Amino acid sequence: MPATYDPIATQTLGSAAASITFSSIPATYTDLFFVVNGNNVTAASYLFLRFNNDTGSNYSYTNLIGDGSATASQRQSSISLIRLNANQSGSTSIWKINVMNYSNTTTNKTMLSRFDFGGTLGGAEAFVGLWRSTSAINQVDFIPNTGNLAAGMSITLYGIKAA
């Protein structure tokens, strides 16, 4: 990682779990960057994220997906989580998630996610998400919509310093 990326925390699941939470995130950076490695879920499922334990319908996302032979897109708004991936149970996956201006208290929060999936389907997906809140983000939860996160899944959180 470039010198502007400071590792804050890494969590690796030793066994399947219902979620991974990063809490007490310091407000000393301009942006957050997550790297997610591993098989995401134990059942066919999507991976979502939630900020500050806000379960209201304050989120929306748009995604684009391609696998070399087909493309698709989707949009949802007024939902309680931001979706991060396609339904890829059993595939080896890498996500790169940027959360911009996470500590700013005057703007809504936006995120970009890039998801490369392996397995027999192979392809890539990109998401843009919005959390309609001006609250500074101090907690991020990664949650599957069904099943559990798989053992061995690892997420590293980095803080990005101002340039």
**Cα gap 65→46, rounded to integer Å:** 14
Using CA atoms, how far residue 120 sits from 3, 42, 81, 87, 132, in Å, is: 36, 17, 28, 13, 36
pLDDT for 37 equals: 84
* Contact criterion met (CB below 8 Å) for 99 and 113: no
pLDDT for 46 equals: 79
Q: Count other C-beta atoms under 10 Å from residue 142's C-beta.
A: 24
- The token duo for 97 is 């998630």
Q: Count other C-beta atoms under 10 Å from residue 93's C-beta.
A: 23
Per DSSP, 159 falls in state E
Class assignment of domain 5-160?
Answer: mainly beta
Q: What pLDDT digit, counting tens, does each position of 122-149 carry?
A: 678 899 999 999 999 999 999 988 888 8
pLDDT for 66 equals: 83
Q: What pLDDT digit, counting tens, does each position of 110-119 carry?
A: 999 987 766 5
Structural domain boundaries in the chain: 5-160
pLDDT for 106 equals: 96
| Residue among 28, 134, 149, 25 nearest 95 (CA) | 149
Low-confidence ranges of the chain (pLDDT < 70): 1-3, 39-44, 86-92, 117-122, 163
**Cα gap 119→15, rounded to integer Å:** 22
* Contact criterion met (CB below 8 Å) for 161 and 4: yes
